[in-house]
Amino acid sequence: MTNDHKNRSTGGLALTRRQLGQAALAGGALVGFGRAPAFAQNTTLKVGVLLPRSGLLAQAGQACQRGADIAPAVLADLGYKVEVMSADTESNVDVARSRTEKLINDGAHVIVGAFDSGQTAAAAQVCEQRGVPLVMNIAAADRLTEQGYKTVFRNFPTSTMLVSNGLSLMKDLFTATGTTPKSAVFLHANDTFGMANRQALDALFPKLDMPFTLVESISYDPKAQDLAVEVAKAKATGAELAIVTTRANDAIMLVREMVKQRWEPKGIVSPGSPGLYDEQFYKVLGKYADYAITNLPWYDPKAPLTKTVEAAFKKQFPSDRFEGYAFNVAFTLEAILIAADAFKRAGSADSASLLAALRTTNLTNKMMVGPAITFDEKGQNTQLISACVQNHNQRPTVVLPKASAETAPVFPAPGWGKR
């Protein structure tokens, strides 16, 4: 049984609003939701941050937690009063559900999280039942904002957005380097996120006039001990490009096995998944981490908030490189900022006021590249854009678009023995 099937069998993404209690809005006030605490005006906003700090996704969850750790001080300088209440999902859907309940019972006015789509879906069900806002920091499965929920807000691309933007940037990469592969193979985790990306790729690929053929899609269990069989199968296709959807642990296993089996496609490109740019990927693989490419939203190093956050990060985590954590830090801190901004504009922490304010969000003081943060009627920020980020000297480096590039892209990548 795949992780995606497990998540759905435990209610991960399939429950409807009818099953959750027929929530409704009337005149801007919240009506018909389950019990949610009401709070006096001018209190400090209590943000329940839900992340997988242990278990399979611990590396990513801990990276996101760094953004939550520095948020109160950073936001205080911007005039926001925030208290962070942290909870560990243990990389488990059922634990995510119970921890969301506990955070709300303990007084959280808003929930932020939860990095993984399946765990975020569980939190979304609870928040919808309780009438408490959920601001997703990172979670891409399209259905999260397609359930008709009135309490969810996502400042992160859907899988469709990630794959569409990622494939378009691949064309730009080939044009910029003068090299176009003739064929590609897609390797992806079989969890909620990986399967959502597979569905998006299957739907979009025929429509985007890509210059290569997709010869095969190969799924794998991210909890596997190695990926020898999957890499051998991918190598046997003769594909010139490896397209991947990974997390840090399986990205490391994947590259290690590629080196071992001497499979040297022209490049490894991810249309928006984590792993290839995470600090652990660099620490474990060293020179073999270089030249991998991820097409995803990225932080603007010139933005005033980025400079403030980077300074705060270096002060609190002097032994860590900001670049290796910045993606997770930025999206987590921005999610908390979104909630804090809504609280400040609402002048109240009660759920109806927060939800009304969240719907009118228009944040320009942010870290990620692109237009102001706004939400459509489904609670989705549709304005997010992607950059082509390639590992150079074991550092994530913007190579496209050219106007934002720190250096030129390298494609095809040098073989493993030439690094």
* Residue given tokens 């609402």 in the structure block: 346
Is 70 exceeded by the pLDDT of residue 11? no
**Residue 201 within a domain:** yes
Residue 219 belongs to domain spanning: 160-296+387-418
**For residue 213, what are the β-bridge partners?**
183
Provide CB contacts within 8 A for 75, sequence distance 6+.
82, 336, 337, 340
Could you give the count of Cα atoms lying within 13 Å of 383 in the half-sphere of its Cβ?
Answer: 14
In b/e form, how buried is each residue of 289-318, taking b as 16+ CB within 10 angstroms?
bbbbbbbbbbbbbebebbebbbebbeeeee
pLDDT value at residue 388: 95
Final residue of a structural domain among 359, 374, 403 = 359
301 band by pLDDT with thresholds 50, 70 and 90: confident
13 and 133 both lie in a single domain: yes
Q: How far apart are CA 313 and CA 329, in angstroms?
A: 9
96 and 139 both lie in a single domain: yes
Average pLDDT across the chain, whole number: 90
Task: Provide φ and ψ at 38, rounded to 5°.
Answer: -110, 145
Distance in Å from the first CA to the final CA of the chain: 39
pTM: 0.81
Q: How far apart are CA 271 and CA 263, in angstroms?
A: 20
**Residue 131 within a domain:** yes
Q: How far apart are CA 331 and CA 354, in angstroms?
A: 20
The DSSP string of 281-344 is HHHHHGGGGTT-EEEE--B-TTSHHHHHHHHHHHHH-TTS-HHHHHHHHHHHHHHHHHHHHHHH
42 band by pLDDT with thresholds 50, 70 and 90: low
**Residue 372 within a domain:** no
196 and 165 both lie in a single domain: yes
232 and 334 both lie in a single domain: no
64 and 100 both lie in a single domain: yes
Q: Report the amino acid identity of residue 282.
A: Y
**Overall average pLDDT of the 233-244 stretch:** 98
CATH of the domain at 73: 3.40.50.2300
**For residue 113, what are the β-bridge partners?**
50
**Residue 365 within a domain:** no
Q: How far apart are CA 169 and CA 160, in angstroms?
A: 14
Q: How far apart are CA 196 and CA 160, in angstroms?
A: 8
Is 60 exceeded by the pLDDT of residue 240? yes
Question: What digits encode the pLDDT tens for the residues 102-114?
Answer: 999 999 999 999 9
pLDDT value at residue 401: 87
206 and 289 both lie in a single domain: yes
**Residue 272 within a domain:** yes
Provide CB contacts within 8 A for 235, sequence distance 6+.
261, 263
* Residue given tokens 């899988």 in the structure block: 159
Q: How far apart are CA 72 and CA 78, in angstroms?
A: 10
Provide CB contacts within 8 A for 359, sequence distance 6+.
375, 379
151 and 164 both lie in a single domain: no
**Residue 379 within a domain:** no
Is 50 exceeded by the pLDDT of residue 152? yes
Question: What digits encode the pLDDT tens for the residues 155-168?
Answer: 999 999 999 999 99
**Residue 368 within a domain:** no
Q: Quick check: 222 and 190 in contact, CB under 8 A? A: yes
209 and 90 both lie in a single domain: no
131 and 205 both lie in a single domain: no
Question: What digits encode the pLDDT tens for the residues 383-401?
Answer: 998 999 999 999 999 999 8
231 and 290 both lie in a single domain: yes
Domain count along the chain? 2
pLDDT value at residue 33: 43
210 and 239 both lie in a single domain: yes
Question: What digits encode the pLDDT tens for the residues 185-199?
Answer: 999 999 888 898 899
Residue 84 CB neighbours (<10 A): 20
**Span of 15-24, 94-103, 225-234, 388-397 with lowest mean pLDDT:** 15-24
Question: What digits encode the pLDDT tens for the residues 27-40?
Answer: 333 333 444 444 44
Q: Classify burial at 54, counting beta carbons within 10 Å of its beta carbon; exposed 0-12, middle 13-18, buried 19 or more.
A: middle
221 and 76 both lie in a single domain: no
In 52-201, at which residue ranges do the beta strands (DSSP E only) sit?
A: 82-88, 110-113, 134-136, 152-154, 183-189
**Residue 370 within a domain:** no
